[in-house]
Amino acid sequence: MSSWPAVDYETWSATCDTLHAHTQVLGKLAVALAPPEPQLQHAALRVTARGWETLPLPAPDGSGAIVAALDLHAHEAVVEHSGGRGARIALGPDRAVGEVTRDVLAAARDLAGDFTIDPTPQEVPWTAPLDEDDEHATYDPAAVERFHDAATRAALVLAALRAPFRGRSTPVNAWWGSFDLAVNLFSGRPATPPSDDFIMRNAMDVQEIAVGWWPGDPRYPRAAFYAYAHPAVPGFDTARLEPDAARWDGELGEYVLDFSDVGAAADPHGAALAFGRSAVRHACAVCDWDPALAATAQGTPPPVR
């Protein structure tokens, strides 16, 4: 069994911000071109063997579909048309986000026809429009490859977690605003959003359990798995989850399991999966989910017999 990579946020934070901004360009394309879905699913990206990418997006000129991707092995942004044409744009060395954004948008328009995006970055502390961002230009290929390795392993854990669940759930989404991966399980009941903010009122209008992973940020500068329930109930924060290193973080309002603790386990995949399963089991119990539906998240009945 190969060892899991170390992801030290503080040593690659500048590259992390640049990569985060590049993913936002892909997300903006999805928002502009994909048909809207509940919980903003149309805006989500996917982790693939080459990096982050959109699903096929309708070409505005009616010629087919395009896919936009970040190839984190070749370190290029990629725009491909279903007709076979495509373009590749270098992400480094140290090309500014604004320059890359302009090249990606020009390639997409050349392949698929005219469209507009809102270039305002979302859920980040900086405000420069993506196509004017000359601040974020640091790009360390080795750090990006370690991130992709870690994200891939996390995505496999999340995919295994959602696999047996027989209710509505999301695939493993790569969210470009919060720069994390997440799986959401839904009970089928409505819920009151935590605020009237556009994202909150559209993404959190149903009862759900979320389990995810992020590479770290200034608020929590460590890579970690996380779990929360919406709406949470009194006492939700009192559980002891698996493994022992898992804990409740009151500032985040989430259970967390640091990626370094996962990597130190004898079976990292198993330890991370145990965290997710114990979080779902606890959330279903205290948030009064249908017991039969909750049991499917633990594999009862099994998905294939």
Name the phi and psi angles at 187, rounded to 5: -85, -20
If DSSP codes are grouped into helix, strand and coil, which group holds residue 79? strand
pLDDT at 93: 87
Residue 1 pLDDT:
55
User: 232 or 94: which carries more pLDDT confidence?
Assistant: 232
182's tokens:
């997440």
- Whole-prediction pTM value? 0.97
- Per the listing, tokens 């896919």 go with 67
Report residue 95's pLDDT band, with 50, 70 and 90 as the boundaries. Answer: very high
Digit-coded pLDDT (tens) for 110-122: 999 999 999 999 9
Q: Which amino acid is at 291?
A: P
pLDDT at 89 over 80: yes
Q: Is the pLDDT of residue 79 over 90?
A: yes
**What is the percent of the chain where pLDDT is above 90?**
98
Q: What is the pLDDT of residues 234-261, one digit of tens each?
A: 999 999 999 999 999 999 999 999 999 9
Residue % of the chain over a pLDDT of 70: 100
Each domain of the chain, given as residue ranges in start order, spans: 9-132, 141-296
Mean pLDDT of 198-214: 96
The mean of the pLDDT values for the chain is 97
Stretch 203-207: mean pLDDT: 96
Q: What is the largest CA-CA distance in the chain?
A: 55
